Structure 1
Amino acid sequence: MSKDTIGVGLIGSGFMGKAHALAWNSVGPVFGDAPRVRLLHLGDAGEELAARKAREFGFERASGDWRKVIADPEVDVVSITTPNKFHLEMANAALTAGKHVWCEKPMAPTLADAEMMLAAARASGKVAVLGYNYIQNPLIRHIRRLLDEGAIGPVNHVRIEMDEDFMADPEAPFQQRHEAANGWGAIDDFAVHPLSLIAILFGKVARVMCDMSKPYPTRKTADGDRDVEVYDIATILLRLENGASGYIAASRTAWGRKGRIAIQIFGAKGTIAFDQERMNEFQLYVTSDRPTEHGFRSIISAPHHPPYDRFCPAPGHSLGFNDLKTIECRQLIGRIVGEDSVGITFEDGIFIERTVAAAGRSFQEGRWMEVE
């Protein structure tokens, strides 16, 4: 990487691949202080698909073999947006080749795989971060500031519910997300987002108790019904290292819920409530108000919640999912050039993976499990 230019490679061109491409294309115009980004090499399954997506996304060249992206000497950073089961091989190959890595969550389907990814990142000395963009919301950053300032006093309980309905239809066909090769299901494909928010807002989880279920044990394929190998619903009781209690409830089969991550934070002097479906506002209740005015107030995102101001000079005009990805991209670049940055590195992500592993063991053994 030169002082002024970052060469980017992208593996995978689906929904998340496009989100990464949009972020790489937007980060310069939005922030104005990043090195120039050069979109060099896109890899996907098949030359024709890769070439078409490279044209759409603005990459200079394309390959039907992801290894060619990593081998490209001009590529400095590799975005990995493939299914979970490929993360280990691709991330380790990129790190071994001396590339920085931006890998979508979750880190890997198993804790053993995640540990190997962490070892490769440490050995390489390169920046390796995970794709947790919800933590980049300017309002989540502001909530963290309020907690640090003691606005609601010591936190004693946290609840996070994450629900979507993309698997709610019992007649929907079997897909790769139903394969055990990609992990447990709801707790690692899904509940890692709430765990990333806990990591940013509060720190580590000390112990967990988990239950999981399969609302639809089989799904249709062209050859007949196939057993669903993972769990689409999970509930995790947890105890944070700071002593607070809490739980995470996650469902991929919740009709009517589209992108819900509902957070409630209860403190000795107030409450904070946030819902990702209304990601440009949160609610604050503080006991310091006069009793005659006690009630939740709505805080609307605005330029004084940086880096909202980089996108729009007016309050209440709303950021979106891909804007958070652009913020995440800027934080990655900042880490690469030696700035302080917000994000979940492989070093941070391993604690999320250990929490997931502990939750899985808890479910299997029917008891509380320490997060090691």
Structure 2
Amino acid sequence: MKEIGVGVIGTAFMGKAHSLAYAIAGTAFGDGLRPRLEVLCDINAQRGQAKRQEMGFARSTTQYMDVINDPKVELISICVPNVVHKEIAVAALRAGKHVWCEKPMATNVAEAEEMLAAARASDRQTILGYNYTQNPLVHAARQLIEEGAIGRVIGFHGIYDVDNEADPDRPHSWRMNREASGCGANADLMCHLVSMAHFMTGSEVARLVGDYDTVHQQRSDPKNQGRTLAVDNDDVCTALAHFASGIKGTLRVSRVAWGRKCGLRWEIHGSQGMICHDQERLNEIKLYARNEDPRQQGFRTILSGPCHQPYDAFLPNAGHALGFIDVKACELHKLLTAITTGEPAWPSFEDGIKIERVMDAIDRSVLSGQWLDV
């Protein structure tokens, strides 16, 4: 199996998730490219060295340009705060590297457009970390929709609730600052919901009206005891959406919803049925297919299994359950296949800009109080 050298920039949760996916992918899929862990980057040298040993990289650095300029590195993971996504992605693409960038693309559409321009000027492959769309069972649900299992699609309705910031005593962080992260729940959570809406319906949000709520408007300053900092982005974001295909939908996300840990839930309404999914139960979907006999009407639970490829790359029997990192490895496999074949993976930067424009339109709609075209 041919190898590809990889570098990961960032060692927190997503940096570790990418590193684990790299370690898993070559063994799980056994075809195409086998990732080789070359360089890990962290601004803290001591932490970077510790994580290098923990994750199995050949070397570590505190400078992301060391990763980009390393001749042994062909693929770069960007797992750092949103505010530096653009500068790293553009530099990596100009240096001829493939890019796996965590979501959202950037803090604003202008920066995302620069990333797209760099990708278009390059012959390298890109993918964004909308991993919930890479679940084999989600792909199976989309296939059922395409085969007509629920008739004509007439609506998409989604919620993504988490309680990451529900505690009012939680200190201020970069995620609560518009300059550092862009929007709040809109950037961090709505992007996942929009990516799912685009993927599952095969259509894109074309027109919308949005609304924000900042529930906790002041947070304690972690660097100055007794002082507070203003939260200048959204805790809750809601939108009514019209899609290019003519369907309509609702989108709502919250980062202050107590009890929800990864509450990404969506429904695809059809003229002859419905398909539902809950990310906290990622190995099952609910299917309601219209039946003339009322005694047999009701939702059916479908458990993930080998018939929902590439589940079979991990497990031989249904119901044994994949996890977050397994789905991350599926996401990586899409990128590795794209690198091998030259055919883009979904969502590339071309797809990602369409997601960014939806979030930007929501933000502008909130400020104007009007329905806006995306």
**How high is the TM-score relative to the length of structure 1?**
0.97
Q: Give the structure 2 partner of residue 353 of structure 1.
A: 356
Letter in 1 for 2:207: R
For residue 8 of structure 1, the aligned residue among 2, 6, 9 is 6
Q: Give the structure 1 partner of residue 275 of structure 2.
A: 272
- Between the aligned residues of both structures, percent identity stands at 44
Q: Is the 8 A contact 2:285 2:301 kept in 1?
A: yes
Q: Give the structure 2 partner of residue 263 of structure 1.
A: 266
Q: How does 1:49-68 map to 2 (within 5 A)?
A: 49-68=47-66
Per-residue CA deviations over 1:27-86 (Å, capped at 9, x if unaligned) read 011111132221101111122111111111111011011111111011000000000001
Q: Is the 8 A contact 2:5 2:35 kept in 1?
A: yes
Q: Give the structure 2 partner of residue 161 of structure 1.
A: 159
Task: State which drifts further: 41-50 or 18-27.
Answer: 41-50
- 1:323 partnered with 2:326: yes
Q: Residue 337 of structure 1: SS of its match in structure 2?
A: helix
Distance 2:9 2:292 in 1: 52
> Aligned pairs, how many?
369
Q: Is the 8 A contact 2:125 2:344 kept in 1?
A: no
Q: Residue 36 of structure 1: SS of its match in structure 2?
A: strand
Measured after TM superposition, the shift of residue 187 of structure 1 is 1.0
Per-residue CA deviations over 1:260-296 (Å, capped at 9, x if unaligned) read 1111111110111110011110111111352211111
- 1:370 partnered with 2:368: no
Distance 1:109 1:312 in 2: 38
Q: Is the 8 A contact 1:46 1:65 kept in 2?
A: no
Q: How does 1:181-200 map to 2 (within 5 A)?
A: 181=179, 182-200=181-199
Q: How does 1:181-260 map to 2 (within 5 A)?
A: 181=179, 182-202=181-201, 203-221=203-221, 222-223=223-224, 224-260=227-263
Distance 2:373 2:34 in 1: 45
Measured after TM superposition, the shift of residue 327 of structure 1 is 0.3
Letter in 2 for 1:87: H
Q: Give the structure 1 partner of residue 171 of structure 2.
A: 173
Distance 1:266 1:286 in 2: 11
Q: Is the 8 A contact 2:7 2:39 kept in 1?
A: yes
Distance 1:364 1:254 in 2: 24
Per-residue CA deviations over 1:196-218 (Å, capped at 9, x if unaligned) read 11121112111111001100000
- 1:101 partnered with 2:104: no
Task: State which drifts further: 28-37 or 100-109.
Answer: 28-37
Task: State which drifts further: 289-298 or 87-96.
Answer: 289-298
Q: Is the 8 A contact 1:88 1:116 kept in 2?
A: yes
Task: State which drifts further: 332-341 or 87-96.
Answer: 332-341
**How high is the TM-score relative to the length of structure 2?**
0.97
Distance 1:178 1:142 in 2: 36
For residue 313 of structure 1, the aligned residue among 286, 297, 316 is 316
Q: How does 1:15-164 map to 2 (within 5 A)?
A: 15-164=13-162
Distance 2:268 2:363 in 1: 25
Report the RMSD for the aligned CA atoms in angstroms. Answer: 1.1
Measured after TM superposition, the shift of residue 342 of structure 1 is 4.7
Q: Is the 8 A contact 1:239 1:246 kept in 2?
A: yes
Unaligned runs of 5+ in 1: none
- 1:294 partnered with 2:293: no
Measured after TM superposition, the shift of residue 343 of structure 1 is 2.1
Write out the 4+ residue segments of structure 1 that deviate beyond 3 Å after TM superposition.
Answer: 339-342
Distance 2:74 2:106 in 1: 22
Q: Is the 8 A contact 2:241 2:248 kept in 1?
A: yes
Unaligned runs of 5+ in 2: none
Measured after TM superposition, the shift of residue 341 of structure 1 is 6.4
Distance 2:311 2:123 in 1: 32
Distance 2:342 2:26 in 1: 16
Per-residue CA deviations over 1:230-276 (Å, capped at 9, x if unaligned) read 10100011011111110111000000000011111111101111100
Q: Is the 8 A contact 1:302 1:315 kept in 2?
A: yes
Distance 1:292 1:264 in 2: 23
Distance 1:105 1:140 in 2: 19
Task: State which drifts further: 114-123 or 27-36.
Answer: 27-36
Distance 1:120 1:127 in 2: 11
Distance 1:115 1:36 in 2: 31
